[in-house]
A and B are shown apart, each in its own frame.
Chain A
């Protein structure tokens, strides 16, 4: 069962099996010619991921290193720092490879715990890979390296303990329906990436999973077939907003709206861009504007360096908000999370903390003021 495997890339030259004692790792990835990996009961040693795993080549998560040479982070056009994250790729891989477990492989970045959380929050697993400094430090019995190893295993264990969250579904106001064909794959992927930064949570859809959303963004490589077209028009007829790169209806499209034309379909609307989409940043901004901020399911204050993933279970009685801080340090001011849904109870969970959280009712819904955190925090919610 690949979903139960916790992968660890066994460092070349290591031979001490005791390193795995009391850790959650149960799968060692080794190079084909590598020897020395311990043979222990309950631990699989593999030279490649099993067939039930889809392996992603990821990036070391974090704020992007400055190109300016002054140590400051690069900023995007929103004034928010650019971040490297794997979450949207994991979500996409889960949608495109249903039934497979998603592993992400990348060199260790500055923050090992962030690498663990960045994958796990989106239902994937980082193939834990130690940087040389930590590997050597552990071998040499250095305290800092041993602490880092301990913290790392605690982070992995945390997500193992909360593996139930992996079955939760994204809470979103926008769905993305796409065949992710080669002509639209880049735009669709970057749309997911940049919408997450707003934050505008997007759920990747299949044709039979459109219900419960106010808006669908549709982009296919080829014009939709009749079934897909009917499904989208049916969604609009029932009151939804469809933003489609193609012309779905022969009804008259009207403006003016900057860059878009509208057609009223039943109780809803179909919108298409006047010019083909090319800029994913602008696309994310346009979609947020078209669906309107009144539909926001989550808002974030003082969270410029954060990505969030907001999930709830199928019954809607439990939820979780994963908060990933790509800066690696708390900001100057603490983060506040605002949720449109009025959850009754909230608990804060981190790798080394668990505490109840205050819920403050506001007109939008509720606000949850958070304490400082450097890398990761979860808000566990109850209806």
Chain B
């Protein structure tokens, strides 16, 4: 059978629908620093979920990292990677291990705030040296996916089955032109969605040239202007070349909309591997622009192949019940992305159905609200 990439994507996304709420092992491990302990810890974790080789050998791997907010933002004086960005050491170790596991090509992706400048420049502004990452494996590339980028047209990825808000999304080509899609996220609370882990990280795969506040009505802009407010508020539709939302009369409330958009995105662009940086993080929100946030050092890493399972374990490690629904922490003012993704058939959020390997949640839990 000759499967092209688009067919493969659709098949991969549709597959979970055949089995309800699938589950895959989730590895957790204590790790208190980004130093020498990080690489062997990650390596062991990948082995515990079946090894990286079976996932990435001979493949083009696309990795969505989390560089949320402008690079000049800091929580206090802390560099972004110690609070709200995924740490470059976690990214670098992952690149190195994927290289060893035979990955053919690895592409680091992010849609940085309000700019079409190369990702490398964005990292430099944040105080990183992108060469560290470009040299961490044999063939590493970076692309800013907040606009059309290096392609001639956007890729349309559809939500298999019934979608919550959007039937499909027009994305930078990088999210289609890959064999394996990886989310490297930070373990954080989120002002709109309660928590942000591997699935919410992928909210940022959407280009603001189409979905942003400054996107033209008729078609995408050349460069992104503004953030993703329309996803939150529903105050406008995407540029007309993209698919509109299913029901413009549905609630215009961020706590209703954003979790559903995230669940739709996780269905349209399946995540094959989730890596969660919970070594250093922040509590109270997703970035320094949220009031009353503070640094926290959970000292934990999470790895798994099912993003709903991973996010359920991550939610539990933060001291919350992943089965919680709207009105209950951490979802006091929003619907649960976990529940909505589960409804898509992407994975279970029920810890009783998830095999946690490498440690127990009780051992590694760090209460974000009280720590």
Contacts and interface: CB of A to CB of B under 8 A. Distances in A.
Contact of B75 (A304, A333, A362): A333
A302 B127 contact: no
A293 B72 contact: no
A51 interface: no
Contacts of B74: 301-302, 333, 336
B124 A332 contact: no
Interface string B89-127: 000000000000000000000000110011001001101
Nearest to A285: B117
A292 interface: yes
Contacts, number: 53
B270 interface: no
Interface in B40-96: 70, 72-77
Contact of A292 (B121, B127, B225): B121
Given A301-B73, A333-B75, A79 B114 contact: yes
Interface in B323-365: none
Contacts of A255: none
A298 to B, nearest CB: 12
B204 interface: no
A303 B72 contact: yes
A233 B121 CA distance: 27
A281 to B, nearest CB: 11
Nearest to B289: A332
B125 to A, nearest CB: 6
A245 B132 CA distance: 35
Contacts of B72: 299-304
Contact of B127 (A332, A333, A338): A338
B194 to A, nearest CB: 22
Contact of B129 (A302, A334, A336, A363): A363
Given A77-B114, A77-B225, A79-B113, A296 B124 contact: yes
Interface residues of A, number: 25
A17 B47 CA distance: 84
Contacts of A77: 114, 225
B124 A333 contact: no
A294 interface: yes
Interface in A292-317: 292-294, 296, 299-304
A79 B288 contact: no
B291 interface: yes
Nearest to A364: B127
Contacts of A336: 74, 77
A364 B113 CA distance: 22
Interface string A202-224: 00000000000000000000000
A137 interface: no
A86 B78 CA distance: 32
Interface string A77-99: 11100000000000000000000
Given A301-B72, A304-B72, A369-B77, A289 B127 contact: no
Contacts of B289: 332
Given A79-B70, A79-B114, A363-B129, A293 B124 contact: yes
Contacts of B114: 77-79
Nearest to A295: B124
A77 B213 CA distance: 11
SS class, residues of chain B in contact with chain A: loop
B288 A333 contact: yes
Contacts of A79: 70, 113-114
Contacts of A299: 72, 125, 127
Contacts of A362: 127
A289 B225 contact: no
A236 B118 CA distance: 25
A278 to B, nearest CB: 15
Contacts of A303: 72
Contacts of A338: 127
A70 to B, nearest CB: 16
Contacts of A285: 117
A304 B121 CA distance: 18
Contacts of B291: 332
Interface in B109-157: 113-114, 117-118, 121, 124-125, 127, 129
Contacts of B127: 299, 338, 362-364
Tell which of A78, A300, A338 has the most Cβ of chain B within 10 Å. A78
B117 A289 contact: yes
B221 to A, nearest CB: 12
A200 B233 CA distance: 35
A289 B125 CA distance: 11
Contact of B125 (A293, A332, A363, A369): A293
Contacts of B77: 301, 334, 336, 367, 369
A216 B114 CA distance: 27
Tell which of A79, A301, A302, A364 has the most Cβ of chain B within 10 Å. A301
B157 to A, nearest CB: 26
Nearest to B125: A293
Interface in A352-383: 362-364, 367, 369
Contacts of B225: 77
Contacts of B70: 78-79, 304
A367 B72 CA distance: 13
B146 to A, nearest CB: 14
Interface string B230-257: 0000000000000000000000000000
Nearest to A336: B77
A52 B348 CA distance: 78
CB-based closest 6 A-B pairs:
A293-B124, A369-B77, A301-B74, A336-B77, A293-B121, A301-B72
Given A78-B114, A293-B125, A296-B124, 16 more contacts: A77-B114, A77-B225, A78-B70, A79-B114, A285-B117, A292-B124, A296-B125, A301-B77, A302-B288, A333-B75, A333-B76, A334-B76, A334-B77, A336-B74, A338-B127, A363-B129
13 contacts: A77-B114, A78-B70, A79-B70, A79-B114, A289-B121, A301-B72, A304-B70, A332-B288, A333-B73, A334-B76, A336-B77, A362-B127, A363-B127
Interface of B: 70, 72-77, 113-114, 117-118, 121, 124-125, 127, 129, 225, 288-289, 291
